[in-house]
């Protein structure tokens, strides 16, 4: 019997690549994004290529009530799901004081509140049946403060720590939570966040979204708590543990500045 994956932020980048990977593996899909046109094209292509069904939900998940509304709609249209991929998120590059509060409010709502609420809703569903897998897309930003992207880095740290803690709690229930931590990746994110202006993006190799998605899928299916894409990205979190916190912040600031 085919299983079903719910993927947020599925119209572009890592989310889109994950949709194709799940479909290739024979899983039905519920794809969520704001762009009806992009979702429509993906649905047609996947259903013409793979023997799976695709349900699209057009929604802005930065709304406070979005998670419950999405959960209710999916319950009505599809019933139970087996895999949850919390991929939707965005960032903004610039000094903390210069951004409008509305930007941060939407960022926290999407990157933190909606992700946490969806995770909570589905693990409550799965606890009785002792099955279910979650992939939360965090970032290598989770491992240190990020001057010039302070709120974004903080949200991704929250995602990482939440995923690790909840995953540990749910081991006995055979439910796994995986945090995927990519570095700069070839997605629409860089354009939206204006992150391409930073030295971080100018001086590193940009990862391929498909490669990151494949790594995340494999880790999710194995139930790994955390997976970091890229050799240098895996070394950095280990190295900074041995440095004073103020040094880490200053180094991060130097990398993030234009």
Question: How would residue 128 be classed by pLDDT, with cut points 50, 70 and 90?
Answer: confident
Which residue is catalytic, options 50, 93, 152, 217?
152
Examine the pLDDT at 83 and tell me if it is beyond 60: yes
Percentage of the chain surpassing pLDDT 90?
A: 74
Does the domain spanning 4-256 belong to CATH 3.20.20.140? no
Mean pLDDT of the chain: 89
Which residue is catalytic, options 156, 172, 222, 254?
156
SS3 of 8-68: the string is: ECCCCHHHHHHHHHHHHCCCEEEEEECCHHHHHHHHHHHHHHCCCCEEEEECCCCCCCHHH
At 148, list the tokens.
């010039």
The CA distance from 125 to 215, in Å, is: 26
The CA distance from 141 to 52, in Å, is: 35
Q: In what order do the strands lie in the sheet with 226-228?
A: 54-58, 28-33, 4-8, 83-86, 133-137, 176-181, 226-228
Told to judge if 222 belongs to the known catalytic residues of this protein, a careful annotator would answer no
Higher pLDDT, 250 or 51: 51
Told to judge if 152 belongs to the known catalytic residues of this protein, a careful annotator would answer yes
Q: Could you report the per-residue pLDDT of 141-189, keeping only the tens digit for each? A: 998 888 999 999 999 999 999 999 999 999 999 999 999 999 886 765 5
pLDDT of residue 193: 47
Q: Could you report the per-residue pLDDT of 15-61, keeping only the tens digit for each? A: 999 999 999 999 999 999 999 999 999 999 999 999 999 999 999 99
Q: In terms of Cα–Cα distance, which of 194, 191, 193, 178 is closest to 229? A: 178
Question: How would residue 248 be classed by pLDDT, with cut points 50, 70 and 90?
Answer: low
């Amino acid at each position: 019997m085919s299983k079903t994956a719910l993927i947020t932020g599925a119209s572009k980048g890592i989310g889109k690549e994950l949709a194709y990977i799940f479909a290739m593996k024979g899983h039905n899909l519920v794809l969520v994004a704001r762009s009806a046109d992009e979702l429509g094209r993906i649905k047609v292509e996947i259903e013409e290529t793979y023997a799976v069904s695709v349900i699209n939900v057009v929604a802005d998940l930065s709304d406070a009530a979005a998670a419950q509304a999405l959960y209710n709609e999916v319950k009505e249209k599809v019933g139970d799901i087996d895999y949850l991929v919390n991929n939707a998120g965005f960032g903004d590059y610039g000094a903390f004081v210069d951004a409008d509060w509305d930007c941060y409010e939407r960022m926290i709502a999407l990157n933190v509140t909606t992700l946490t609420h969806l995770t909570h809703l589905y693990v409550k569903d799965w606890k009785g049946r002792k099955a279910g897998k979650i992939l939360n897309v965090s970032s290598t930003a989770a491992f240190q403060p990020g001057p010039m992207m302070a709120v974004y880095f903080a949200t991704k740290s929250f995602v990482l720590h939440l995923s690790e803690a909840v995953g540990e709690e749910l081991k006995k229930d055979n439910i796994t939570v995986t945090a995927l931590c990519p570095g700069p990746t070839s997605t629409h994110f860089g354009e939206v966040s204006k992150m391409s202006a930073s030295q971080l993006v100018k001086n590193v190799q940009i990862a391929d979204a498909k490669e990151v998605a494949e790594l995340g899928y494999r880790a999710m299916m194995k139930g790994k708590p955390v997976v970091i894409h890229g050799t240098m990205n895996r070394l950095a979190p280990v190295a900074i543990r041995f440095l004073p916190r103020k040094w880490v912040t200053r180094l991060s600031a130097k990398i993030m500045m234009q």
